């Protein structure tokens, strides 16, 4: 990465540094043919910010793009922490394709490219909030968007394309704003069937890990982190028994949620309203 794209990258990292507070920590890792940690996890005090900015300005273009080694070094930084902040994230900036791990056999048109090999095991999304998301940013039109999207998807992060200076502020503001506004971690939604004949057939939870008990009587979705005011919706396919002659209402299930409050570090249990369906003798007419 060099020239205009390197200048854009420096501007982007500078924006991140400016948005972090004195209790936030940042470590810089550079990668080309290999990877190395440029700064330790440093609090963004005035002195820490100034030191980090000097390191950013000293960045120079290198040869090759070894994304896997860069992420592996980032994982070492995270795994080696002696103190853990409440919220952790990785930001990956790249302008090209990984030409070390993804060799020519992966780019063979007859073979599907396995981009997941770029992500260290400790950074793969587990659903319990223990692994940090990787937010990826592709600089220039020659970056590997499929790889960057796969890395973000596998870790619960986001992907953005940085084409010019105009989009840097908005893209990174959303990323940093999200990291700084995480309100809940290890969030988990559970349902338990009430009526004997009710069964959960399946859950449509997108990229979130879910499970349904073998008998269909209970199910859960591992949500992980949630931002302040963020909403998530999941679709349950449920088998409901035929109503009896005297049944006016069928109780379907109880819904509950558990999460860890980022502000207090305490676990919170929330009991939702019971889900029920009315069983009228005749269906009401639709409103005009």
Q: Mean pLDDT, to the nearest integer, of 258-285? A: 84
The mean pLDDT value for 21-36 works out to 92
pLDDT score for 15: 87
- pLDDT over 90 (residue 40): yes
Fold for 3-180, please state it. Answer: Rossmann fold (3.40.50)
Q: Assess whether pLDDT exceeds 80 at residue 260.
A: yes
Q: What is the DSSP string of the chain?
A: --HHHHHHHHHHHHHHHHH--TT-EE--EEESSSEEE-S-SEE-SHHHHHHHHHHHHT----S---HHHHHHHHHHHHHT-SS--SS--EEEEESS---SSS-TTTS-TTS---GGGGS-GGGS--SSS-S--EEEEEESTTS-HHHHHHHHHHHT--EEEE-SGGGHHHHHHHHHHHHHTEEEEEEEEEEEE-STT-EEEEEE-TTSEEEE-TTSSEEEEEEEEEETT-----EEEEE-PPPPTT-SEEEEEEEEEEEEETTT--EEEEE-PPEEEE--SSPPPPP-
pLDDT confidence of 85, banded at 50, 70, 90?
Answer: confident
The residue ranges of every structural domain in the chain are: 3-180, 183-278
What fold is seen in the domain 183-278? Immunoglobulin-like (2.60.40)
pLDDT 10s digits, 96-151: 778 777 655 445 555 567 888 899 998 887 766 668 889 999 887 778 888 999 99
Q: How far apart are CA 81 and CA 61, in angstroms?
A: 29
Q: Are strands 134-139 and 159-162 parallel, antiparallel or unpaired?
A: parallel
Residue 169 is predicted with a pLDDT of 74
pLDDT at 19: 87
- pLDDT of 105: 46
Distance from chain centroid for Cα 256: 23
Rounded to two decimals, the pTM is: 0.70
Express each pLDDT in 164-198 by its tens digit.
Answer: 766 777 788 778 887 777 888 889 999 999 998 89
């Amino acid at each position: 990465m060099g020239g205009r794209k390197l200048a854009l990258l420096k501007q982007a990292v500078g924006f991140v540094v400016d948005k972090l507070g004195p209790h936030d920590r940042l470590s810089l890792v550079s990668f080309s043919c290999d990877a190395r940690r440029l700064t330790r996890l440093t609090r963004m005090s005035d002195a820490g910010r100034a030191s980090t900015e000097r390191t950013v300005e000293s960045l120079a273009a290198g040869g090759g793009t070894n994304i896997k080694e860069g992420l592996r070094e980032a994982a070492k930084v995270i795994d080696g922490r002696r103190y853990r902040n409440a919220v952790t994230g990785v930001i990956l900036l790249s302008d090209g394709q990984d030409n070390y791990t993804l060799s020519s056999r992966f780019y063979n048109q007859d073979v599907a490219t396995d981009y997941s090999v770029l992500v260290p095991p400790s950074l793969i999304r587990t659903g319990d909030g223990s692994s940090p998301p990787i937010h990826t940013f592709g600089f220039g039109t020659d970056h590997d968007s499929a790889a960057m999207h796969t890395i973000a998807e596998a870790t619960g992060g986001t992907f953005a394309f940085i084409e010019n200076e105009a989009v840097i502020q908005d893209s990174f503001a959303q990323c940093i704003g999200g990291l700084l506004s995480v309100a809940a971690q290890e969030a988990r939604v559970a349902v338990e069937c009430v009526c004997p004949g009710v069964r959960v057939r399946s859950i449509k939870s997108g990229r979130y890990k879910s499970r349904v008990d073998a008998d269909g009587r209970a199910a859960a979705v591992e949500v992980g982190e949630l931002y302040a005011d963020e909403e998530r919706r999941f679709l349950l396919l449920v088998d409901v028994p035929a109503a009896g002659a005297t049944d006016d209402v069928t109780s379907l299930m109880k819904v509950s949620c558990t999460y860890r409050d980022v502000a207090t570090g305490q676990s919170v249990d929330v009991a939702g309203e019971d889900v029920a369906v009315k069983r009228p003798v005749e269906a009401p007419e639709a409103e005009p």
